[in-house]
Amino acid sequence: MNKVQQIWIKSMDKVMLNCDTATLLITKGEFTKLSCVEKLQLKMHLMGCKFCRRFKQQSEFISYAIRQADRIPEKGNLRLYLTDEQRERLKKKIGS
């Protein structure tokens, strides 16, 4: 990479953020309101960065999958079940 490219990347980082900051803002933005400047910077960064676009999609997918997993499922659709032994232990504790 030559000097001109380096200077170009550095000055663009100030305006459009680097990927480290951009992904931090993606995470932050999911839970709080970003400032107008942050929003704009992130938007511009995402337009030019396919990896951060992927990061955003994948983060959303992971959050979605987590919520899916929490839905009260049909019987027989759980990830794991109490063993008979555990069941007995619990019942004894509640005294039923």
CA–CA distances in Å: residue 70 to residues 29, 49, 58, 65, 67? 23, 32, 19, 9, 5
Contact pattern for another protein over residues 22 through 61, marking x by CB under 8 A: -xx--xx--xx------------------x--xx-xxx-x
Contacts of 30 (CB under 8 A, 6+ apart): 59, 60, 63
18 binds another protein (CB under 8 A): yes
Min dist. Cβ of residue 47 to another protein (A): 16
Out of 11, 20, 35, 43, which residue is the one contacting another protein (CB under 8 A)? 20
